[in-house]
Structure formats: C-alpha cells, structure tokens
Structure 1
Amino acid sequence: MNRNRTADAIVVGGGVIGAAIAHRLALAGLGRIVLCDQGRVAAQGATARSGGLLRLHHTAAPDTLLTARSLPVFEQWTERIGGDCGYRRTGFLMLVGPDHVETLRANGAVAADALRYERAEILAPDEIRSLYPGLSTEGVAAAAYEPAGGYADPAATAVSLVASARRLGVIASEGTRVERVWERNGSVAGVHTGTGRIEAPLVVLASGAWGDPPAAHLGVHLPVVPRRIGLAQARLPGAGRRGSDASVPTCIDDTIGCYFRPEALDQLYFGVPSNPEVDLGQDVAPLTDDEVGAAVQAVSRRVPAVATAELVGTRAGYDGYTPDKRPAIGPAGPDGLYLALGFSGGGFKMAPAVAELAAQEICEGGAVLGKAVQPLLEPYRPQRFESGNLITPEASYAHM
C-alpha cells in the first residue's frame, strides 16, 4: 500500500526534466510534492544516456532562448542548486561544410545575441585546428564557436536536483509506476500507481519516451515516438586537456552527422545512431558491434585518434521524439494536467529554464487549459500537433 496518499502535486518521471520541475515547484512553496519514477531516478530513460552537451547554437530561436536562460544555472550550479552537475567549460563548436556556411552565420548570430556577456565567433579551419589540435578539419568550411559551451553530467545533474528537492520536502517515490491519471468532474484528482492511489489536484507528466499513455483515456494523445539512443566512451589521453595535441571540444559535426565531447581529461564520449524501432515493454537492447563500429568510423574522420582508441563502455536507452523534434510543454486535457515531454534528444541543456518557466506558469494557474502565461513556452504547446503549427527551423543543416 502506498503511504503517500495525498499530495499537492505529482510529477511523473525522474529524469532531468521531471527532477528539475519538482525542484522548482518545491522552491515555489507549492506544498507536498511527490516525484514518481518507475525505476530509479535518472536510471532508465534518456537522461543517463544523454551526451550532456551545453550549447546555444540551434536552428530555431525558441530553443536558443531557453538554452541561454539555462546555461548560467549550469555554470553556477553549486550556488543555485547545490551539489555538482559536472559542468565543464570546453568550448563548443558547430562544424559545417561549404553548403551551410551562411546558415551557420545566421544561427550563430542568434546564439551570439543570446550570449550577450561573451563573444561567439565564426572560425575558419586553421583557427579551429589552432584551438583544438586533436581535430581534423577535412571537409569543414567553418565553425560556430561558443567559448562558454561545454558539457555536464546528466545523471549527476538529475540526482543533484532530486537531492535538493528532497531537502525542500519533495518525496521521491522510486519504483512507482504511474498507470493512469485520475480525473473527477473535469479536473485532475490524482494518479493510480502499481502500489495504490495518490490524490492530488496537479499532475505533471515528464515521462520522456513513455509519453502520455497515463492520460490517454482522458483524450490526451501526443505523437511521441520512443526511440533507442546510444553513446560510446573511448579512452583518448589528452582529449580534455586544453593545449594538448589531442584536445577536442564539445562538438556537433554536421558534415558527418555526429556529436562528441571530452570526458574528464583522457576520454571521449560520442553518439551512436541506433535502430529507432523500440518496444518499451522490453529491456533496452545494448548497442551492437556494428552500430558502435559505424560510429567509430564516422567520428574518426574528425578525431583521427578514435580509430585506434580503446572503447571503455557503451550505453543505450530510450527517448521520446515528436514530429518537429521539439517538446510538448503546457496544459492538456482536464484542468490540473501539465505536460513536459517529447524532448527529442534536446532536453538536458534547456531543463533549468523549462522547469523555472513551467513552475511559474503552474503556480499562476497555468495548469488550466487556456490560462498558460509564459511567452517563452508558447511555441511548445501540445496543441500545435493537432493544429499543424509545428516549430520549423529558421535555417537548417544537413543533419541537425
């Protein structure tokens, strides 16, 4: 029997988005908050499989605005949140070929304006090699450079948020699977879980790849498709040592469709594309040798040392993708139901801003359909999928 019988708010999903929202609701003094996760916090979903890239460079301005609001939180994590999110300032590069230089300049200008307090530049290949000797610039025409960019540890970030939330009174209910949102007279009344019922007038679904099924019986249907995501880790001495002959930045390379970043001083993380067809009812399949081998071949075109580097680990997990690869954030269905899911691989770097704005909106009555109040969240409303008003890039790349 679940002892947490009543609450003022229930947040479903213990990844970085759910943890951040629970924390912000507690800071706002909302009352008794229960954070439910079907496993352990940051253990099963996208958070622990994220590359943790921190960047402002995007193809749509709304994303840039949210990440610009989030970056200072990562930089000042201990003072603002407590604990350690693992932030490392490595610099960020967005690499493009000759066909996308003007696109790079356009998107780079938006990022530069959002940074305000620090420059963002467009670099030529020789300038790239001077900053990061571990990179090959074959096929690269230019790069957008953000000195303040870098990475953080997504799992440590979520755990830190939950620890801070617990200090504020949030109850982290791990191993609690939310099966159904409970509604009474047109308003949310709580949730049914595998261990009993929890009553609450507010439910936030931040359940990532698991999407909206707990609210499907209430007419809430989002086109969130679960996909398998993965990354690999290689031993690469000097990768994270600025000035080293092997140094590399946090990077997205549009010429070969991959991302990578250093990890500590002597390792490299890189993304591994994988089969998008998944069954959430089964354990996630580990990355195959063929998948990892293809990723090594791609990344080694940009970081030649990866071709012979020792692989020291891989991870695979699930994330939820929407048709425009942007999240659904805002009220949906009965009064008291709020969504923050479908982040499509991009949620980590904007989590602090999403949580801040969503919590403000909820506390001002914005969990009621039609009363949402945060302009920065307007492009992400769940209703855009039904109306066809999807978020479209202002300037697109080949892969991003």
Structure 2
Amino acid sequence: MLRIGSARAAEIVAAKPSAIAPDANNVENVDIGNAPYLVITLKAAVTPVRSPQGTGECCGRTGYDAGTGSSASRPADIRHRMPWLTGSGLLASYSPRCAVANPRISTPAVTRAMVRAGGDVFEQTEVVEMDHQNGLFAIRTANRPQMKAPVLVNAAGGWAGSISQHFGETTPLFSAGPPQFVTEPMPYVLRPSVYAIEGDLILRQIPRGNFIFAGYPRTLSNEDGQHTFVPPQKTLNGMRAVSRHMPGLRNADIIRVWSGVEGYLPDMLPVISASEATPGLYHAFGGSGGGFKIAPAVGECLALQICGDTVSIDLSPYSISRFRSPIRKSQKLAAEFDEASEVSLAGHFEAEPPDHL
C-alpha cells in the first residue's frame, strides 16, 4: 500500500497490510506533551443558533462517558479555579485525563511505530507522476525508483484535491490555516489547556512561560497553495480577543506568529471513503481544521476497509460522492472565516442554504 501525504514535500509512506491494521500495541507509550484539558463556554461566543451552555454540558458529559473524568463547573467555580479569567465564563468542562497532543512530538512517535511494523517513509520525495493500470498504482518520484502497489491512500491534506481530481473525482477543497501566536515568557500560571467551544480562544502555556494561542478567523492560503501568511491586523485582533478573557495578557509581547496549510471543505466535514472512480484508491482528507484530532479513528476505519473487514461506523456522510450534487455550506464557515475570506470563497463552490450543525 502507498499513502501520499503532504504533496508539497510529497512525503510517501509505503506500508504492508499488517502495518495499517489497527493494533494498539504498535503505538509508542511516550510523553507527547499531554496537559489537562479545559473547555470553556464564553459569553462572547453566544450565537442565536446554538445554546453555548447546552453545548458545554454535552461536551462535559461526552468526555466523562469516554473515561476522561470530565466535570462541569459553573461561573463561581470557574472564578475560583481561574481568577485570572474575566467574568465572561458561563460554563466549563474540566478533563484531568483528557490530553492535548503536540503534533510536532506525537507524529514522529506514530511514524516510528509504523516503521517498526514494516512500513517505509520517504521524506522530501516529490511525486511527479501517478498512474493506475492493471490493478496497480505506479508512483514516479523525482529522486527514487518507481513504486507500485494495489492500494493508494490520498492523505495529502490541502493538496489532496489535485490527487482526487487526477483520478477523476473533483472536490471543492480549499486551503487555509488558523493564525497562531507565541508570547514572551511570563510567570507560569496556566496548567490546563483552555479551549472556547464557540470560537475565539484556544490557549495554553508551556512551562518556560510562553503562552501559545490561536483562534478565528482563519486565513486563506496564498494562491500558490504553498503558504499561509498571517496579516499583521490578525495578530492585533488575536491579542484583543485573548485579552478580553485574560486581561493579564493585554500588554504581552508577541515574539512569533505562524500558520499552516490545511484542507477545508464547504460543509466542514472530511472525506473518508473509497474512491468511486478508481479501484484501490482511498481518500482521507478535508479535516477542516480537525484532521489531527480524528486521524487515529480515520486511520482505523480505512485500515478496516482496506483489509476487507467490517467498519462499525457509518461513513456514508463522508463519502467523496456527496460532491456530485450541491452541498450545504456549514455555518462554521461564517463563524471561522472573516468576511474577506468568505467573499474570496464565494465563487469557489455553489452556495446552498447553510446547515445548523
């Protein structure tokens, strides 16, 4: 089996069937930067469509049922636990056993587990030609011998649309990324990671004191699809947003800003399915900002499909065939992208009445 990752660096993973079959024993038990997880609902995030309080309670119950030890906190509890937070908190769900993973650290650990199971990783390997004949995919690269396999997994993130189109399946995928910021080192006061359910606050602090935060609105990638720059105005807006909830950060200096290139779809749902145009081709892209979080589940579902086993989850809502007809735009587009981005996207896909998911 071949899996094409980021098409810019064109990372290729070649794996044996045993390497993709789900096996918890193959994953390294390493420290991947876990931290207690706090989800908080804020007044600033109230919308007429959702009930933030109900959303927060649901989040807490879901986490508790999953074994994370989640507990809900009311405003008085929030102020007692986090006196540095303004009075905008409506409800918090605290999960001492829920983890926030650092992709930079955890991804290599998973990759090493795959290599131990018999797979190979070819980094900085540009794919220059793809073909499918006689039941085999042939992948030609710029610096390695041609590779062939009966199965190809398209997991190329923001570049996956060009691969699916190459094999006859067009999607309205577009590229964007969330702006992220790092402050100067400050006293270490924030142990849990803080996430606002409805939007503009994603915050954690590392032991050496730097605060790392991100939020909406997201930024569209450049037309070349290779980079996502963060305009200075978004840095200022981001600081204003975080200081509304944490006044102590109002005058903090920002020392670094960055973003990335992620794949988004107008319904904000991923594609997790076998190709309906090319036998042996499987798609896993369009996580719309949540791909890293759901990657283990997506990998398990596709591994079961590829190995011919039964998948207990209904994957039909994530089929690539849904783009054969107009789809509903998610209301999250308006919530997570600014007006300028929405205008730029207007001609990218056919408008449909928004959903309320």
Q: TM-score range by the shorter chain?
A: 0.7 to 0.9
Is structure 2 residue 134 aligned with structure 1 residue 191?
no
Aligned length: 325
Letter aligned with residue 231 of structure 1: Q
SS in 1 for 2:250: helix
SS in 2 for 1:226: strand
Q: How far apart are 1:14 and its partner, in Å?
A: 5.6
Flag the 1:90–1:317 CA change in 2: closer, same or farther, 3 A: same
2:204 is aligned to 261
Greater RCO structure (CA 8 Å; 6+ sep): 1
Q: Deviations over 1:185-236 (max 9, x none)?
A: 5x44232323353111111011001123134232111211011433111233
Flag the 1:376–1:312 CA change in 2: closer, same or farther, 3 A: farther
Q: 2: CA distance between counterparts of 1:14 and 1:157? A: 17
Letter aligned with residue 10 of structure 1: L
The correspondence of residues 330-369 of structure 1 with structure 2, limited to 5 A, is 330-332=273-275, 333-364=277-308
Q: How far apart are 1:277 and its partner, in Å?
A: 4.5
The correspondence of residues 89-238 of structure 1 with structure 2, limited to 5 A, is 89-97=35-43, 102-106=51-55, 108-109=57-58, 112-113=61-62, 115-116=64-65, 117-138=67-88, 140-185=89-134, 187-195=135-143, 196-234=145-183, 235-238=185-188
Q: Deviations over 1:232-262 (max 9, x none)?
A: 1123322334xxxxxx6321253x6232222
SS in 2 for 1:212: helix
Contact in 1 for aligned 2:79/2:87 (Cα 8 Å): yes
Contact in 2 for aligned 1:326/1:391 (Cα 8 Å): no
Q: 2: CA distance between counterparts of 1:181 and 1:144? A: 47
Contact in 1 for aligned 2:53/2:90 (Cα 8 Å): no
Q: Deviations over 1:49-88 (max 9, x none)?
A: xxxxxxxxxxxxxxxxxxxxxxxx8xxxxx7611635242
Q: How far apart are 1:373 and its partner, in Å?
A: 4.0
Q: 1: CA distance between counterparts of 2:325 and 2:93? A: 34
Q: 1: CA distance between counterparts of 2:16 and 2:231? A: 39
Letter aligned with residue 229 of structure 1: P
Q: Provide TM-score, normalisation by structure 1.
A: 0.70
Contact in 2 for aligned 1:150/1:250 (Cα 8 Å): no
Contact in 1 for aligned 2:60/2:94 (Cα 8 Å): no
Flag the 1:387–1:373 CA change in 2: closer, same or farther, 3 A: farther
1:68 is aligned to none
The correspondence of residues 284-295 of structure 1 with structure 2, limited to 5 A, is 284=227, 286-295=229-238
Contact in 1 for aligned 2:86/2:244 (Cα 8 Å): yes
Flag the 1:157–1:218 CA change in 2: closer, same or farther, 3 A: same
Flag the 1:280–1:252 CA change in 2: closer, same or farther, 3 A: farther
Unaligned residue ranges in structure 2 (runs of 5+): 337-356
Q: Equivalent of 1:12, from 4, 10, 14?
A: 4
Q: 2: CA distance between counterparts of 1:24 and 1:161? A: 16
SS in 2 for 1:353: helix
Q: Provide TM-score, normalisation by structure 2.
A: 0.77
Q: Equivalent of 1:305, from 226, 248, 255?
A: 248
Q: 1: CA distance between counterparts of 2:47 and 2:159? A: 38
Q: 2: CA distance between counterparts of 1:24 and 1:356? A: 15
Cα RMSD over matched residues? 3.5
Contact in 2 for aligned 1:260/1:271 (Cα 8 Å): yes
Identity, % of aligned pairs? 23
Q: 1: CA distance between counterparts of 2:59 and 2:250? A: 35
Q: Deviations over 1:2-27 (max 9, x none)?
A: xxxxxxx1111169xx99x9789543
Q: 1: CA distance between counterparts of 2:231 and 2:115? A: 38
Unaligned residue ranges in structure 1 (runs of 5+): 1-8, 31-72, 74-78, 242-247, 366-371
Q: 2: CA distance between counterparts of 1:355 and 1:285? A: 27
| Greater Cα shift, 85-94 or 301-310 | 85-94
Q: Deviations over 1:121-143 (max 9, x none)?
A: 443222112222332233x3333
1:326 is aligned to 269
Flag the 1:318–1:398 CA change in 2: closer, same or farther, 3 A: closer
1:46 is aligned to none
Q: 1: CA distance between counterparts of 2:334 and 2:34? A: 27
Q: 2: CA distance between counterparts of 1:183 and 1:304? A: 57
Contact in 2 for aligned 1:208/1:341 (Cα 8 Å): yes
Q: How far apart are 1:289 and its partner, in Å?
A: 3.1
Q: Deviations over 1:78-105 (max 9, x none)?
A: x761163524232221313265784532
Q: 2: CA distance between counterparts of 1:118 and 1:24? A: 34
Q: Equivalent of 1:315, from 240, 258, 263?
A: 258
Contact in 2 for aligned 1:209/1:224 (Cα 8 Å): yes
